Amino acid sequence: MTKLSSNGQIVIPKAVRQALNLQPGAQFNIRLSEGNILLEPIVASSIEALYGKFSGTDFLSSQEEEHQQELLNDPSAGA
């Protein structure tokens, strides 16, 4: 059981958060259905998850640097 605070907030019980692997900052869709409130966690799509994994990195530049280093270590690698 949980209560609605004066600020309109509710606490999701720890067991539920753990079961759904909900982390601070998780976002939800809120719907009304037959007099009930439904909270549905918003799950990032696979593409968004991958983008987040590589954000802040320049994959092409890192590959180019790696290749340049290989050439410096073994000049015959570029032939």
Q: What is the pLDDT along the chain (79 residues), one digit of tens a residue?
A: 899 999 999 999 999 999 988 999 888 999 999 999 999 988 766 566 666 666 666 666 666 777 777 778 776 655 5
The whole-angstrom separation of Cα 65 and Cα 79 is 17
Whether the model pTM is above 0.75? no
CB neighbour list of residue 2: distance below 8 Å, 6 or more residues apart: 10, 11, 12, 13
The token pair that represents 53 in the structure block: 């994994």
- What residues does each domain of the chain span? 27-78
The whole-angstrom separation of Cα 64 and Cα 78 is 13
The token pair that represents 46 in the structure block: 């696979």
